[in-house]
Amino acid sequence: MAKETQKFQAEVKELLGLMIHSLYSHRDVFLRELISNSSDALDKLRFEEASNANWDLSKEERHVRLEADPENKTLTIKDNGIGMTKDEIVNNIGTIARSGTKEFLKKALEGNTQPDLIGQFGVGFYSSFMVADKVTVHTQKAGTTDGVVWESAGDGEFSLEDKVRSESHGTTITLHLKEFPEDTEQQDFTAEWTLRSIVKKYSDFIEYPIKMLVSREEPELDKDDKPIEGQTKKVEEDAVLNSMKALWLKKSADIKEEEYQEFYKHLTSDWSNPLETIHYKAEGTQEFSSLMYIPSQAPFDYNYRDSKVGLSLYVKRVFIAADCDDLIPVYMRFMKGIVDSNDLPLNVSREILQKDRQIVSIRKAIVSKILKTLSNMLNKDREKYESFWKVFGATFKEGIPSDISNKDKVTDLCLFSTSASDKLTTLKEYVARMKPEQKAIYYITGETITQLADSPYLEKLRKKGYEVIYLTDHVDEWVMQSLPKYDEKEVVSITAENLELDTEEEKEKAKEELKSKEEKYKSLTDVILKSLEENIKEVKVSDRLVDSPVCLVSGSGDQSAHMERMMEAMGQAIPKSKRILEINPDHKVFEIMAGKSDDQQKVWAEILYNQALLNEGSQIENPTKFGQQIAQLMVDANL
């Protein structure tokens, strides 16, 4: 039959322009689309062979082949799949969804919402025209002897010609590659390295081998088969570009630990073994497979502001997106791995995940599985869990304020350092150790454990035998604001005002004693307040302290000093709130201070205030002046 030319539908011509110029953000996805089509064709052939035993098909291994021709600037993608008849190629490629093209085009051009049409319109083939100015398709349906050649320049028409395919059934797509302007992204789609990289990125786990002839240099040999110095020859050999190891689709019972470790390293380029492997297959209303890992160490860029987070998304083994943060919450950003679903709502270019209940369902299932895995690790392998916590605990505890639905589970999985021992503890364990008369769970925030352990704020709690949680991570202030109670016990900062540590009987007894001491030092506290009024809002006689003379506490509703320091360090300084200076009336310094002149009391007040700042980890305004004042006190003590 002579070659015949047909026109695309008018709206299809317009659609081609949209496909070529607007739909995809990266040109290299054309190869993903064509390889995916070839994989589908091979799947269909395997299915049909079961019911067509009389087909006389090639016994050649089912595969996809790439053939690059740099001289003629062509790239060919071949498969020995099911192929197409003439009518099928016209319907599948020449028409693009005959019944719905106008509606598709309308939705696409509106731009408000991307239509969910993957698998319905087969538009992936047209991504070829992003890189090619002419595309030739030679195909032959399995079980037939009639081949057909389809050809188009993407300009509104295509030609058809009957021609038997020499390789029998399957499809050959030849792209006549474009010349791109110098100011655009340049990729040589005939270069071996480029093709290897694209296949590894998008199609590494396609179950059929993706083959290509590659060249390598080897020495020329003499008649005795010895290498001739300085002489080489080019040798071509078949190379398989994809690993085909979609490990997540296998049964876990059939997978060795070494295979899991090898896959992790292949996936992440982290050459240390993962701490934990989570192989999970969900069945029911929302089916998907996942293979996730908890790393044993944080990557070098883990805490960078612009570092990528999320799992890799695949659909039917085909890579769709890396770092898909729709599938996992930010506080689980340490997780690595993949999620593969046969039915996800992608937009037409397969580049954007549509937000709907299926995605919410997958995310919920993944989070639940990770939390369950961590819980099992905590209860059955405490040492392993603590190694996880030391690396990723500061990240994971962000789930307390950010994941309301799982807040209790996340809280139960958090570990803390405390004043009781060097061992980490859970809140459940802390509560089990509480004294019968202890009213609350107590904590303190600061820069280091050493600093907190020596803090004057602990003095009375230590005397009573109350355990205090030490918090030194930068997220702790934010986290604890979201945890006012645990197990019906209030969670209280020991640096806040009105800290109640006494029983009702002890409070009544202390009330009268404090009243007497307030009256005794009334004139002194007035002088202290007046001399420090720019920095403090109140001087309060307190029984909070045992050995130290003073401390600074935050008023109700005020930010803590630690929070203020953190915000300042991040370049987000906030107005500093005046705080309360609490004094220990039993400390001898106040008895001595009360007998000094007003001017001397003002100097001593400034020294005590700076001492309180240092004790809480804050900077003092004038260290030199403070040092001179201390030196003068030492001199005066010997007069």
The enclosing domain of 71 has a CATH number of 3.30.565.10
The enclosing domain of 521 has a CATH number of 1.20.120.790
Together in a domain, 83 and 132: yes
pTM of the full structure: 0.79
Asked if residue 209 lies in contact with residue 242, where contact means CB atoms within 8 angstroms, the answer is yes
Over residues 519-550, the pLDDT tens digits come to 999 999 999 999 999 999 999 998 889 999 99
- 3 state SS of 474: coil
The enclosing domain of 451 has a CATH number of 3.40.50.11260
Structurally, the chain folds into a number of domains equal to: 4
Together in a domain, 438 and 350: no
Instruction: Give the pLDDT score at 500.
Output: 87
Range of the domain at 617: 504-637
Residue 385 lies in a domain: no
Together in a domain, 547 and 562: yes
Instruction: Give the pLDDT score at 114.
Output: 41
Together in a domain, 226 and 298: no
Together in a domain, 362 and 448: no
The rounded distance, in Å, linking the Cα atoms of 13 and 26 is 21
Instruction: Give the pLDDT score at 359.
Output: 83
Please give the C-alpha separations between residue 63 and each of 49, 205, 442, 478, in angstroms, as whole numbers: 16, 13, 65, 55
Together in a domain, 59 and 194: yes
The enclosing domain of 317 has a CATH number of 3.30.230.80
Residue 199 lies in a domain: yes
Asked if residue 611 lies in contact with residue 604, where contact means CB atoms within 8 angstroms, the answer is no
Residue 457 lies in a domain: yes
Together in a domain, 236 and 278: no
Together in a domain, 232 and 266: no
Together in a domain, 460 and 537: no
Final residue in a domain of this structure, among 380, 408, 430? 380
User: For the chain, which residues score pLDDT lower than 50?
Assistant: 97-105, 112-121, 348-349
Together in a domain, 193 and 317: no
Together in a domain, 179 and 282: no
Instruction: Give the pLDDT score at 102.
Output: 44
Instruction: Give the pLDDT score at 185.
Output: 67
Residue 73 lies in a domain: yes
Together in a domain, 329 and 469: no
Residue 37 lies in a domain: yes
Final residue in a domain of this structure, among 207, 240, 273? 240
Question: DSSP secondary structure string, 155-210?
Answer: SSEEEEEE---TT-SEEEEEEEEPPPPTTS----TT-HHHHHHHHHHHSTT-SS-E
Asked if residue 289 lies in contact with residue 248, where contact means CB atoms within 8 angstroms, the answer is yes
Residue 393 lies in a domain: no
Instruction: Give the pLDDT score at 16.
Output: 65
Instruction: Give the pLDDT score at 97.
Output: 42
Final residue in a domain of this structure, among 214, 240, 266? 240
Residue 240 main-chain phi, psi, to 5 deg: -95, 125
Residue 386 lies in a domain: no
Instruction: Give the pLDDT score at 347.
Output: 53
Instruction: Give the pLDDT score at 98.
Output: 43
Residue 147 lies in a domain: yes
